[in-house]
Chains A and B, each alone.
Chain A
Amino acid sequence: MNKPMRRVSVFCGLLILALLLRVNWVQFVQADELQNDANNRRVNIERYAHPRGDIIVDGEPITGSEEADDPDYRYQRTFTDGEMWAPVTGYSSQAYATSMLEGVHDSILTGDDDRLFFNNTIDMFTGEDQRGGNVVTTLNADAQRAAFEGLGDAKGAVAAINPMTGEVLALASTPSYDPSSFSGNDGDDQEAWQALESDEDKPMLNRALRETYPPGSTFKVVTAAAALEHGAVEDVDTETDTPDPYYLPETNNVELPNLSDTSPCEDADVRTAIQYSCNTVFAKLSDEVGNEQMRETAEEFGFNQEHFVPIRTEASSYPEDNRPQNAQAGIGQASNRATPLQMAMVAGAIANDGTLMQPYMVDQLVAPNLNVIEQHDPEEMSEPLSAENAQMIQSAMETMVEESDAIDTSALGDVRVGGKTGTAQRGENNEEIPYAWFISYAMTDEGSPVAVAVVVEDANVDREDVSGGGLAAPIALDVMEAVLADEDAG
């Protein structure tokens, strides 16, 4: 009986060998895959097992972590002034993942980033829990507050940048949401999330970066830049040969009206055309420059591409189009669409003498031991127009602000302020309440420290009262005032 018994023993050995191979396969070969599987709850447990790093504005954290009762997730994210900062921070929810900066720099904030490896190793030896790093932003708390409170109950967005560096100073979007309301994973969080998801006003949409609007008349400064750069006009004070009324090219005499019949738009120079927002002049200039070159200039200003600041922005668009459409795109209508940040970049490039700086909102990534692991330095993105041409447009935009009755810059002190209003039509046959736009910059002797774009979608006012100067400009002025006050103080 010993021979078959030996064979049975070998067979048992093979069974054991099969088991050993299998556990090696599962726990060695497949381990990483299983460990990081989206449905493996350990991923989230690990993530919330220690406090997250913070997002810093002006040296103060605008986020926090509090201990939760949940047996699985020890810490829960909290946000200071959550509604105000939501477009910057995004959310970090146990149930609904992350977004915006919380998402982009998640690995730094959790402490899992490879660049924190040495920190983690040292923490391991000193017996400390893993800690997350901090994300230091370029934002300006006062400017952000001015923007958020300025928008108030209205639906809209504000983007402010420092034209000289590209630093993002304010990013507001209303209506907003409090990311703290669903940072856990219980019933309340689910309810809050579902309510926000189904809200028709889309409070979780980051309007400053992720929504594109027809830029309306604010785009005329781009058209002016293209006309100057491509030689369609000599300077901003040379008369253009523009008829009033102006008929769109290649159409059966479709008339393009001006805002008011009394505006001196016939043959107006660029300065006057900017002051009175003459559709006729800029439609004609856009047509003269031509679609291809208009697109080229728009793209140098940042159109037709996504930007990563490092949050991804929606791409603004100035598409390839036929002549009548291109003429209308030149006054910010038709197929032309822009994000508020894009229009702040336009104002910024003009204010920075024609040089567009790469916009960014994260200055430093800092390890838990305060070592800087990444530092962002200002970078030039493009030069959409020459310094000379930029200064001419500055002068025209400043004239516009000076001559405007609605815009009062006295609170800003001894600075030059240039701006451009816009009232973008929307809806079939312009039926819906138009968007009110205002883009502007403030100029000191050392250059321009701030450029702002404001869009108000819906301020609960009658359509007759919607105007860039009346609705959007005061918000922009408040934001600039806040930045300038900090400059003086700093």
Chain B
Amino acid sequence: MSSSNTTVSTGGLPSRRNTELAMLVFAVLIPVFAYANVGLAKDESLPAGMLGYGLGLGLMAGVAHLVVRRWAPYADPLMLPIATLLNGLGLVLIWRLDQEPQITTDALGGPMAADQLIWSTVGLALFLGVLVFLKDHRILQRYTYISMVVALILLASPIFIGEEINGARIWVQVPGVGSLQPAEFAKIIIAVFFAGYLMVKRDALALASRRVMGIYLPRGRDMGPILVIWAISLMILIFETDLGTSLLFFGIFVVMLYVATERTSWIIFGLLLSATGAVLVASTNAHVGDRVHNWLNPLEVHANGGITETANVMYSFGSGGLFGSGLGQGYSRLIGGIGAKSDYILATVGEELGLAGMMAVILLYALLIERGMRTALAARDPFGKLLAVGLSGIFAIQIFVVAGGVTGLIPLTGMTMPFLAQGGSSVIANWALIALLLRISDTARRPAPAPAPSPDAEQTQVVRA
């Protein structure tokens, strides 16, 4: 069955909607049990909001499922359950951290689970909106250059109207709504632009190149847009000190370029550019330098004698061990600050659910990426392929950069775990991302329309008087 998914098939594939429904039941039950677990561990009683939370999550999943059944019946059956499960677990983890008074003070924004639930609902609404109103993803192709402009405006907005929080300038205050992270939305829009642009230019980029020392080098005029993207990435890095986002954008451009042109030389070219940029920034920007220093010396005590967040995160993971302390029984609050619920949410996973839980969560993300890549392979049109690769790639790079940063594999950058971490922009944008992937996979797996009837094959019509 799985092999048939990868090839374009005109046969009537099963819609797999019932599989999705069964999976969704688990995706709702697991967070509900986790919620009960936290309550039992903290107060030895079932938490009061459990019924409401369970019904809410169940209702959201149910509505999403019905909409998918109606408007995207051939969509991939696993993506919605995985996203629901991660979103549900994220809500439990945030609620669980809300129970720690030390990191839930008014100065730190108070309890956040309720707000996060509202943002999740908004995200889900956007998800439904995309599925209902975007009948075909190829419609997006028309907005290639508008997408570029919108993405650039979003990316640049924090420089002009944003404020600096924790050394990074990535937030924009919207009156009455709160702070938003425009980069989270920009990443989807820029994938749309890349897909549209590369679909048109791929032949020029792939074929019109000169061979120098065994490597095909692109022509100067084709190189232009790439250098522009590179410059934008560097600008984000320098003006917004947002290492993660610039890495994400440049990384995804290289990936999509490679897929579109099938030329390895683009990867070498891209890696050269990013290496140059990284060295340039690391040597001039103190903030990035600090991050690298903390990465190399994770347990070093701060100059003022305090224990760094990085060290506390490592202690969280180490103390979790193989099976973790159990939900509600860890001390990841020692990380302190707002980071515990957002950037460092994985530390709570690692400490309370242990190595086992950590691997399970990473594998959930891996599965989501795999389904995305499979959608790209199965898609029938180049735009859909490129967009699906782009969106899955964004997901993969973001997971790697965040989880790698938190666990100390690479220097820490300020991005959040999709669905799991606290943050409205992130959860809304990622629900939209999943909706786009579902739309592409629905188109890919939909049975091909019956061949147009051939006049020759038709029976002679009897003309009745």
List residues of chain A with CB under 8 Å of any chain B CB. 1-9, 12-13, 15-16, 18-20, 22-24, 26-28, 30-35, 37, 39-42, 45, 71
Q: How many angstroms from the CA of A15 to the CA of B255 in the assembled complex?
A: 14
Q: Which residues of A contact B407 (CB under 8 A)?
A: 19, 22-23, 26
With A19-B399, A23-B407, A27-B322 already in contact, the answer to whether A34 and B362 are too (CB < 8 A) is no
B114 CB-CB contact with A under 8 Å: no
Q: Are A23 and B102 in contact (CB-based, < 8 A)?
A: no
Q: How many angstroms from the CA of A23 to the CA of B317 in the assembled complex?
A: 8
With A26-B408, A39-B299, A41-B334 already in contact, the answer to whether A3 and B355 are too (CB < 8 A) is no
With A20-B362, A41-B331 already in contact, the answer to whether A12 and B262 are too (CB < 8 A) is no
Q: Which residues of A contact B223 (CB under 8 A)?
A: none
With A19-B399, A19-B403, A22-B404 already in contact, the answer to whether A27 and B354 are too (CB < 8 A) is yes
8 Å CB interface, B63-119 against A = 101-102
B385 CB-CB contact with A under 8 Å: yes
B409 CB-CB contact with A under 8 Å: yes
With A3-B262, A30-B318, A39-B311 already in contact, the answer to whether A24 and B400 are too (CB < 8 A) is no
Q: Are A8 and B322 in contact (CB-based, < 8 A)?
A: no
Q: Which A residue's beta carbon lies closest to that of B318?
A: A34
Q: Which residues of A contact B326 (CB under 8 A)?
A: none
Q: Which residues of A contact B397 (CB under 8 A)?
A: 15
Identify A26's interface contact among B314, B366, B385, B393, CB under 8 A. Answer: B314
Q: Which residues of A contact B350 (CB under 8 A)?
A: 23, 26-27
How many residue pairs between the two chains, A and B, have CB atoms under 8 Å in the bound complex? Answer: 135
Q: How many angstroms from the CA of A369 to the CA of B321 in the assembled complex?
A: 30
B197 CB-CB contact with A under 8 Å: no
B259 CB-CB contact with A under 8 Å: yes
B392 CB-CB contact with A under 8 Å: yes
Q: Which residues of B contact A8 (CB under 8 A)?
A: 255, 258-259, 373, 389, 393
Label chain A's interface by main secondary structure: helix
Q: Which residues of B contact A3 (CB under 8 A)?
A: 262
With A28-B355, A39-B307 already in contact, the answer to whether A33 and B373 are too (CB < 8 A) is no
Q: Are A40 and B377 in contact (CB-based, < 8 A)?
A: no
Q: How many angstroms from the CA of A210 to the CA of B318 in the assembled complex?
A: 38
Closest 9 CB pairs of A and B: A34-B318, A27-B355, A12-B396, A40-B315, A15-B400, A9-B373, A22-B409, A16-B366, A4-B259
Q: Which residues of A contact B320 (CB under 8 A)?
A: 27, 31
Q: How many angstroms from the CA of A460 to the CA of B102 in the assembled complex?
A: 52
Q: Are B318 and A1 in contact (CB-based, < 8 A)?
A: no
Label chain B's interface by main secondary structure: helix
Q: Are B385 and A19 in contact (CB-based, < 8 A)?
A: no
Q: Which residues of A contact B259 (CB under 8 A)?
A: 1, 4-5, 8
Q: Are A39 and B301 in contact (CB-based, < 8 A)?
A: yes
B156 CB-CB contact with A under 8 Å: no
With A1-B385, A42-B334 already in contact, the answer to whether A31 and B373 are too (CB < 8 A) is no
Q: Are B262 and A1 in contact (CB-based, < 8 A)?
A: yes
B260 CB-CB contact with A under 8 Å: yes
Q: Are B359 and A23 in contact (CB-based, < 8 A)?
A: yes
Q: Separation in Å of the A8 CB from the closest CB of chain B?
A: 6
Q: Are B317 and A34 in contact (CB-based, < 8 A)?
A: yes
B319 CB-CB contact with A under 8 Å: yes
With A12-B396, A16-B369, A27-B358 already in contact, the answer to whether A5 and B299 are too (CB < 8 A) is no
Known A12-B393, A15-B399, A33-B318; 16 more pairs at CB < 8 Å: A1-B259, A1-B262, A4-B258, A5-B373, A8-B258, A8-B393, A12-B392, A19-B400, A23-B350, A23-B355, A23-B403, A27-B354, A35-B315, A35-B319, A41-B307, A41-B331
In the complex, 25 of the A-B residue pairs with CB atoms within 8 angstroms, ordered by the A residue number, are A2-B377, A4-B262, A6-B377, A9-B373, A9-B377, A12-B366, A12-B370, A15-B397, A16-B362, A16-B363, A16-B369, A22-B407, A23-B362, A23-B407, A26-B407, A27-B321, A30-B318, A31-B321, A31-B355, A34-B317, A35-B319, A37-B299, A40-B319, A41-B315, A41-B334
B376 CB-CB contact with A under 8 Å: yes
Q: Are A71 and B385 in contact (CB-based, < 8 A)?
A: no
Q: Are B393 and A22 in contact (CB-based, < 8 A)?
A: no
Q: Which residues of B contact A32 (CB under 8 A)?
A: 318
List residues of chain B with CB under 8 Å of any chain A CB. 101-102, 255, 258-260, 262, 299, 301, 307, 311, 314-315, 317-322, 331, 334, 350, 354-355, 358-359, 362-363, 365-366, 369-370, 373, 376-377, 382, 385-386, 389, 392-393, 396-397, 399-400, 403-404, 407-409
Q: How many angstroms from the CA of A2 to the CA of B444 in the assembled complex?
A: 14
Q: Which residues of A contact B393 (CB under 8 A)?
A: 8, 12
Q: How many angstroms from the CA of A40 to the CA of B393 in the assembled complex?
A: 37
Q: Which residues of B contact A16 (CB under 8 A)?
A: 362-363, 365-366, 369, 396, 399-400
Q: Are B362 and A19 in contact (CB-based, < 8 A)?
A: yes
Q: Separation in Å of the A185 CB from the closest CB of chain B?
A: 14
Q: Which residues of B contact A6 (CB under 8 A)?
A: 377
Q: Separation in Å of the B125 CB from the closest CB of chain A?
A: 29
Q: How many angstroms from the CA of A300 to the CA of B348 in the assembled complex?
A: 59
Q: Which A residue's beta carbon lies closest to that of B407?
A: A22
With A5-B259, A9-B373, A34-B318 already in contact, the answer to whether A18 and B400 are too (CB < 8 A) is yes
Q: Are A37 and B362 in contact (CB-based, < 8 A)?
A: no
Q: Which residues of A contact B317 (CB under 8 A)?
A: 23, 26-27, 31, 34
Q: Separation in Å of the A206 CB from the closest CB of chain B?
A: 29
Q: Which residues of B contact A7 (CB under 8 A)?
A: 258
Q: Are A5 and B408 in contact (CB-based, < 8 A)?
A: no
Q: Separation in Å of the B148 CB from the closest CB of chain A?
A: 22
Q: Which residues of B contact A4 (CB under 8 A)?
A: 258-259, 262
Q: How many angstroms from the CA of A89 to the CA of B317 in the assembled complex?
A: 36
Q: Which residues of B contact A33 (CB under 8 A)?
A: 318
Chain B CB within 10 Å — which of A12, A15, A24 has the most? A12
Q: Separation in Å of the A42 CB from the closest CB of chain B?
A: 5
Q: Which residues of A contact B386 (CB under 8 A)?
A: 1
Q: Separation in Å of the A313 CB from the closest CB of chain B?
A: 34
Q: How many angstroms from the CA of A13 to the CA of B314 in the assembled complex?
A: 25
Chain B CB within 10 Å — which of A4, A32, A39 has the most? A4
Q: How many angstroms from the CA of A23 to the CA of B307 in the assembled complex?
A: 22
Q: Which residues of B contact A27 (CB under 8 A)?
A: 317-318, 320-322, 350, 354-355, 358
Q: Are B362 and A24 in contact (CB-based, < 8 A)?
A: no
Q: Which residues of A contact B318 (CB under 8 A)?
A: 26-27, 30-35, 37, 40
Q: Which A residue's beta carbon lies closest to that of B331?
A: A42
Q: Separation in Å of the B61 CB from the closest CB of chain A?
A: 26
Q: Which residues of A contact B359 (CB under 8 A)?
A: 20, 23-24
Q: Which residues of B contact A15 (CB under 8 A)?
A: 396-397, 399-400
Q: Are A37 and B315 in contact (CB-based, < 8 A)?
A: yes
Q: Separation in Å of the B76 CB from the closest CB of chain A?
A: 15
Q: Which A residue's beta carbon lies closest to that of B334?
A: A41
Q: How many angstroms from the CA of A41 to the CA of B102 in the assembled complex?
A: 15
Chain B CB within 10 Å — which of A20, A22, A27, A45 has the most? A27
Q: How many angstroms from the CA of A18 to the CA of B320 in the assembled complex?
A: 20
Q: Are B331 and A45 in contact (CB-based, < 8 A)?
A: yes
Q: Which residues of A contact B307 (CB under 8 A)?
A: 39, 41
Q: How many angstroms from the CA of A71 to the CA of B262 in the assembled complex?
A: 59
Q: Which B residue's beta carbon lies closest to that of A26?
A: B317
Q: Which A residue's beta carbon lies closest to that of B324?
A: A27
With A4-B258, A71-B102 already in contact, the answer to whether A19 and B404 are too (CB < 8 A) is yes
Q: Which A residue's beta carbon lies closest to that of B300?
A: A39
Q: Are A12 and B369 in contact (CB-based, < 8 A)?
A: yes
Q: Which residues of B contact A30 (CB under 8 A)?
A: 318
Q: Separation in Å of the B204 CB from the closest CB of chain A?
A: 16
Identify B408's interface contact among A13, A20, A22, A71, CB under 8 A. Answer: A22
With A26-B318, A39-B299 already in contact, the answer to whether A9 and B370 are too (CB < 8 A) is yes
Q: Which A residue's beta carbon lies closest to that of B392?
A: A12
Q: Which residues of B contact A35 (CB under 8 A)?
A: 315, 318-319, 321
Identify B358's interface contact among A2, A5, A23, CB under 8 A. Answer: A23
Q: How many angstroms from the CA of A26 to the CA of B369 in the assembled complex?
A: 24
Q: Separation in Å of the B244 CB from the closest CB of chain A?
A: 14
Q: Separation in Å of the B231 CB from the closest CB of chain A?
A: 24
